[in-house]
Amino acid sequence: MSRIGTEDEEMKAMVLKEISPIEKEPLKMEDLPDPVPGPKQILVKISACGICHTELDEIEGRLPPRLPMVLGHQIVGRVEGWGSGTTKFILGDRVGIAWINSACGKCHFCIGGLENLCSEFRGTGCHAYGGYAQYTVVSEDFAYFIPKRFSDAEATPLLCAGAIGYRDLILSGIRKGQTLGLFGFGASAHIVIQTARYWGCEVFVFTRGEEHRNLAKKLGASWTGGPEDKPPEKLHCAIDFTPVGETVPQALRVLEKGGRLVLAVIRKRNPIPPLDYAQLLWDEKELKSVANITRKDAQEFLPLASEIPIIPEVREFKLEEANQALILLKQGKIQGAGVLRMHD
Ligand SMILES: [Zn+2]
Ligand SMILES: [Zn+2]
């Protein structure tokens, strides 16, 4: 490998060693050996890493990671070295790394463009060390150029909330001019609404927080209300970003015949209540979950975000403030997206 001259070969990282409620502040600052890029891998000096609800699921055991783990899968940094056989980047290139860290590349899912469903799928910050650190390594095939328009911090939420939201939108089957419902209005939804508006869709937002409703209106929602409220029109498509089960029947109730509800979260905190088939599912309504992302989602979404343009609202924290930032995220107190900023 080559690595630009720094004498010390240790980096700072916030490390998770055991499953725990986030309130106990389980992420600990540690010195870890600098990662060494293997064949086809690049070494990335991280400047910013977004925080995500998935990290709460990992920390609190709903989606247990390999332990110990460096979490974080919305990484922006610069290429600072490489292993053998790399060709894609040069020194100093600004790159992003997302949730998909690798997949086998050979199975029928991978060959058919569904590498997100590969049984060997590895998640950044879950199966491979992620971005709550000063450095990381990744295969060059799973790193993306970041459009110039975005600052490092602004680009981080595009890599998870943005790219997954883009996948949610594609899977919802939404077409130009149709009505879209968004249940929950956090980091992903506030990016999705901007893409949907760009595509000429009318967007109804179901969320309890007054601040979230105001932001939704500012970003072009034509109506906002609570999850139990009735929107002025039926929804052709809906995306449920909430971690609770109750929103599923609530969304199906206001879905148009033949409409599709996409469930965007990896895990629901509580069970989905029994669904009345005649009232909620008949008339060809569909329910679909979303798992992971593909490289194509990130590759397509980053330039689209630049074209629209989508400039995410971000709130910055220091790396050592990761626990506190995640507690605020859990409490729903972060407007837009939370981002950890690294320093030397
Ligand atoms: Zn995420
Ligand atoms: Zn595969």
The reported pLDDT for the residue numbered 5 is 46
User: Which ligand has the nearest atom to the CA of 338?
Assistant: 1
Proximal ligand: closest to the CA of 294? 2
**Per-residue pLDDT, 214:** 95
Ligand 2 centroid from CA 117, angstroms: 7
What is the number of the ligand closest to the CA of 163? 1
The whole-number average pLDDT for the span 6-14 is: 82
- The alpha carbon of 343 and the centre of ligand 1 are apart by a number of angstroms equal to 22
Average pLDDT, the chain: 95
Ligand 1 centroid, distance to 298 Cα (angstroms)? 13
Interacting residues of 234 by C-beta distance below 8 A, sequence separation 6+: 179, 254, 255, 256, 259
What percent of the chain is predicted at pLDDT more than 90?
89
Q: Are 124 and 332 in contact (CB under 8 A)?
A: no
Ligand nearest to the CA of 119: 2
**Contact call for residues 334 and 215 (beta carbons, < 8 A):** no
* Centre of ligand 1 from the C-alpha of residue 158, in Å: 10
Ligand nearest to the CA of 108: 2
| Residue 188 · residue 301 · CB < 8 Å | no
- pLDDT digits 0-9 by tens, 230-258: 999 999 999 999 999 999 999 999 999 99
Residue 337: closest CA among 192, 145, 169, 171: 192
| pLDDT for residue 344 is more than 80 | no
How far, in Å, from the CA of 114 to the mean position of ligand 2? 8
CB proximity list for 333: less than 8 A, separation 6 or greater = none
Q: Is the pLDDT of residue 115 over 50?
A: yes
**Would you state the pLDDT for residue 186?**
83
Between the CA of 119 and the centroid of ligand 2 the distance, in Å, is 6
* pLDDT above 90: residue 67: yes
For 161-206, how does the pLDDT look when each residue is reduced to its tens digit (9 = 90+)? 899 999 999 999 999 999 999 999 988 898 999 999 999 999 999 9
Ligand 2 center–CA 112 separation, angstroms: 9
Look at residue 336 in the predicted model and tell me its pLDDT. 78
pLDDT on residue 7: 54
pTM of the model: 0.90
Burial class (CB in 10 A: 0-12, 13-18, 19+), 176: exposed
Which ligand sits closest to the CA of 103? 2
Give the closest ligand to the alpha carbon of residue 100.
1
The pLDDT-based confidence of 284 (bands split at 50, 70, 90) is: very high
Over the chain, what HEC string results? Answer: CEECCCCCCEEEEEEECCCCCHHHCCEEEEEEECCCCCCCEEEEEEEEEECCHHHHHHHCCCCCCCCCECCCCCEEEEEEEECCCCCCCCCCCEEEECCEEECCCCCHHHHCCCHHHCCCCEEECCCECCCCECEEEEEHHHCEECCCCCCHHHHHHHHHHHHHHHHHHHHHCCCCCCEEEEECCCHHHHHHHHHHHHCCCEEEEECCCHHHHHHHHHCCCCEEECCCCCCCCCEEEEEECCCCCCHHHHHHHCEEEEEEEEECCCCCCCCCCCCCHHHHHCCCCEEEECCCCCHHHHHHHHHHHHHCCCCCCEEEEEHHHHHHHHHHHHCCCCCCEEEEECCC
Cα(100) to ligand 2 centroid in Å equals 12
Give the number of the ligand closest to the Cα of residue 74.
1
Q: How far is CA 202 from CA 140, 198, 199, in A?
A: 38, 10, 9
- Among 42-46, 88-92, 312-316, whose mean pLDDT is lowest? 312-316
pLDDT at 1 over 50: no
Which protein residues have a CB closer than 5 Å to ligand 2 (ion)? Answer: 103-104, 107, 110, 118
Ligand 1: distance of its center to the CA of 155 in Å?
13
| CA of residue 5 to ligand 2 center, whole Å | 37
Do the Cβ atoms of 48 and 342 come closer than 8 Å? Answer: yes
CA of 86 to the centre of ligand 1 (A): 27
Please give the pLDDT value at position 188.
Answer: 87
Q: How confident is the model at residue 332 (pLDDT cuts 50, 70, 90)?
A: confident
Does the pLDDT at position 300 exceed 90? Answer: yes
Looking at the CA of 123, name the nearest ligand.
1
Q: What pLDDT, on the 0 to 100 scale, is given for residue 8? A: 66
- Which one, of 70, 73, 74, lies nearest residue 26 by Cα? 70
Looking at all shown ligands, the one closest to residue 329's CA atom is 1
Q: What per-residue confidence (pLDDT) applies to 335?
A: 77
Residue 305 has what pLDDT?
98
Distance, CA 296 to ligand 2 centroid (Å)? 15
* CA–CA distance, 21 with 77 (Å, rounded to integer): 29
* Residue 6 pLDDT greater than 80, yes or no: no
pLDDT above 50: residue 259: yes
337 alpha carbon to ligand 2 midpoint, in Å?
31
Using one digit for the tens of pLDDT, what is the confidence trace for 195-229? 999 999 999 999 998 988 999 999 999 999 999 99
277 CB contacts (<8 Å, ≥6 apart)?
A: none
Q: How far is CA 157 from the centre of its chain?
A: 7
Distance 324 CA to ligand 1 centre (A): 17
User: CA 89, CA 27: separation in Å to the nearest integer?
Assistant: 32
